[in-house]
Amino acid sequence: MRNQAVVTFQPERKAVSVPTGTPLRDAISKAGIDMEFPCGGHGICGKCRIDVRGEVNLPSEEERELYTPEELEKGLRLCCRVEILGPVDVRALQTPAKTDVILQEGKEPAYEIRSPLRAVDLVLQPPSVTDQRADEERLLEALRSQGIHAKPLPGHLLRNLPRLLRESNWAVTAVLFGEDWLALHSQGTTQGVYGVAVDLGTTTVVASLHDVKTGTEFAKHGMTNRQVVCGGDVISRLSYVRERRDGLETLHRHAAETLNRLIEQLVADRKEEIYAVSLAGNTIMQQLFLQMDPTPIASSPFVPVCHRPSVWKARELGVKIHPDGCVCVAPVIAGYVGGDIVADILAASLYESDETLIMLDLGTNAEIVLTYQHNMTACACAAGPAFEGGEISQGMRAMEGAIERVWVERNELRLGVIGDAEPAGICGSGLVDALALLLETGVVDRTGRLLPPKEYSGPDWLRERIRENVEGTRFVLWENKKSSISLTDKDIREIQLAKGAVKAGIKILCYEQGITVDRIDRVLIAGAFGSHLRPESALKVGLIPPMDIEKVNFIGNAAWVGAKIMLLSEPGMRRSRVISEKMRYIELSGRMDFQSEFGLSMGFDDNWEYFGAI
């Protein structure tokens, strides 16, 4: 038997006892402390820094590279590499995941409020010798006379039916979701009947509370997805599922718990009055939430479990609303074109548009949808983590301290920093801005090369910011005596990979639809990254085809808007299904023309012609 060791966490003053040999990460989880492991605990990202005193294993190779010998001596470690060997004191250096996040609005189309969730008041004719219809028949026919064709009652309601009808004196309230029964009450005993719309993001989960009769939004909250404790992105969460016996169950629980916390914020102690949740997320997020193994999506041929919208009993998913309430999960198009994109399309009324439109949802994975003469085509491409600040030397997510905007005013470089704080790094939109500026001023040439100072013939105030050392060339965006934020040659390469993938995707969609890129009337940009992006910069770096700047529109958190439409509009719900069924999905992986278009799209030119396989 192994010995037990006590692990104490500061400043929380929490302590847990674990067997020696336990990874510190598991002790943290046991202590109920939220800690983010962006790379999923593989020692790659170096972001789970921690200060440890006591009996632990020796530092790993990754840690020896990251820390100076003095720092290691002091106890600085990567949390994911530490094993408990005896009593240990831990001080988390990392900011814990914030529970409140900045909420983003989304543009909304006009739609009629006609929610599939309904509370219908009925007064039934009591039975008589001349009207001996069975209780259920009487109830269903009363609904039918109001134009509502409900399914037969489920067993638990059927069992209670004779008593309820007679005790209520034949006046009841039926709570339905579409044709499905949720509850049946004596009239007058039903409190509210509310619905919740959820955007289940990889990083952030947003939920709003609605009166389903009027659509009125009572509250809206956002929160970091608790799954970040198992990995910051989709890929590291997939590894978590693959590597742990209870990985899928843990991630499912974290997602449900995030949702439950949000619901608690939305309604406090009136959870029983929520009867339906409408939820949209990418395919992997949805499958994790549903506890359906998503690992087949990780490798070719990237297959999801199901396409259709699925309706679940809240209790099957551990979602704490009315015990017979339901959770309706958006349909998906493919393993990498998920319910969030279906929701985006709903929110943007893409299906109804007579224009030729491109919709982009940019992130580690970029989803692209083309609509042309009411035909829709979609593809997904791996853009890499650059848009979210990953794999960028000083990249970070769009949070406090991130440079999110770069521009020039009177020969001076100006920076927009989130929270007006001292710059701590640069996020995706800042990167695109900076690159656009460097291209415009010639600091970066058409091939993506960052010119060394001696080759640069532009103004001095720019040349001064170009530095060279053995590692290569970099452009300093900001510096003070202690530190600096720069863009390196390698960073530019990362952005080129990202934008090359997107450009190639757009070209191939147009080719498959039989049109040229210049036929595109408008570009819609959805998602968190998109909302920070500036169209002029996106145009300058060639992320989107050349067009008038006012033809580039941001649609904000369209996934949440789409989830809301599915909650509040039965036609919207049906439309979501049609979108997933009619959409033509183009698989890019393994296509020879994608390889060549990708290569051709990395340079900074205005050529959007489809070339085809080389």
Please report whether residue 308 would count as binding its own copies according to CB under 8 A.
yes
Please report whether residue 116 would count as binding its own copies according to CB under 8 A.
no
- Nearest CB to its own copies, comparing residues 215 and 309: 309
Could you give the C-alpha distances from 222 to 201, 258, 458, 560, in angstroms and in order?
10, 10, 45, 11
Question: Binding residue for its own copies (CB under 8 A) from 34, 585, 596, 611?
Answer: 585
Candidate ranges 255-263, 309-317, 363-371, 592-600; the one touching its own copies (CB under 8 A)? 309-317
Task: Determine contact, residues 393/455, Cβ cutoff 8 Å.
Answer: no
- Nearest CB to its own copies, comparing residues 53 and 584: 584
Task: Determine contact, residues 223/100, Cβ cutoff 8 Å.
Answer: yes
CA–CA dist 503, 516 (Å, integer) = 13
Question: Binding residue for its own copies (CB under 8 A) from 38, 43, 59, 304?
Answer: 304
- DSSP for 486-531 reads EEEHHHHHHHHHHHHHHHHHHHHHHHHHT--GGG--EEEEEHHHHH
Query: Least distance in Å: CB of 304 to its own copies?
Result: 5
Structure tokens at 527: 């998602």
Q: What percentage of the chain's residues is helix, strand, coil (to nearest 5)? A: 35, 30, 35
Q: Enter the DSSP assignment of 583.
A: P
Element (H, E) at 123: strand 117-123
- Nearest CB to its own copies, comparing residues 570 and 587: 587
Candidate ranges 211-219, 300-308, 384-392, 476-484; the one touching its own copies (CB under 8 A)? 300-308
Please report whether residue 137 would count as binding its own copies according to CB under 8 A.
yes
- DSSP for 406-457 reads EEEETTEEEEEEGGG----EE-HHHHHHHHHHHHHTTSB-TT--B--GGG--
Candidate ranges 20-28, 294-302, 343-351, 410-418; the one touching its own copies (CB under 8 A)? 294-302
In the stretch 254-293, what mask flags binding to its own copies with x, by CB under 8 A? ------------------------------------xxxx
Please report whether residue 147 would count as binding its own copies according to CB under 8 A.
no
Please report whether residue 136 would count as binding its own copies according to CB under 8 A.
yes
Please report whether residue 457 would count as binding its own copies according to CB under 8 A.
no
* Helix ranges (DSSP H) in 12-127: 24-30, 61-66, 69-74
CA–CA dist 543, 358 (Å, integer) = 12
In the stretch 75-114, what mask flags binding to its own copies with x, by CB under 8 A? ----------------------------------------
CA–CA dist 333, 340 (Å, integer) = 10
Please report whether residue 180 would count as binding its own copies according to CB under 8 A.
no
Could you give the C-alpha distances from 14 to 10, 21, 89, in angstroms and in order?
7, 20, 10
Please report whether residue 374 would count as binding its own copies according to CB under 8 A.
no
Question: Binding residue for its own copies (CB under 8 A) from 113, 158, 515, 547?
Answer: 158
Amino acid code (one letter) for 313: K
Please report whether residue 574 would count as binding its own copies according to CB under 8 A.
no
Per DSSP, what are the bridge partners of residue 76? 51
Site size with its own copies, rule: CB under 8 A: 47
Please report whether residue 310 would count as binding its own copies according to CB under 8 A.
yes
- Nearest CB to its own copies, comparing residues 380 and 436: 380
Structure tokens at 451: 């010119």
Candidate ranges 60-68, 73-81, 92-100, 305-313; the one touching its own copies (CB under 8 A)? 305-313
Query: Least distance in Å: CB of 594 to its own copies?
Result: 12
Please report whether residue 302 would count as binding its own copies according to CB under 8 A.
yes
Structure tokens at 83: 């094993």
Please report whether residue 155 would count as binding its own copies according to CB under 8 A.
yes
CA–CA dist 512, 507 (Å, integer) = 9
Please report whether residue 300 would count as binding its own copies according to CB under 8 A.
yes
Question: Binding residue for its own copies (CB under 8 A) from 31, 120, 235, 306?
Answer: 306
What are the helix and strand counts (H, E) for the chain? Answer: 19, 26
Binding site for its own copies (CB under 8 A): 127-137, 152-153, 155, 158-159, 161-163, 166, 290-296, 300-308, 310, 312-313, 316, 332, 334-335, 585, 587, 589-590
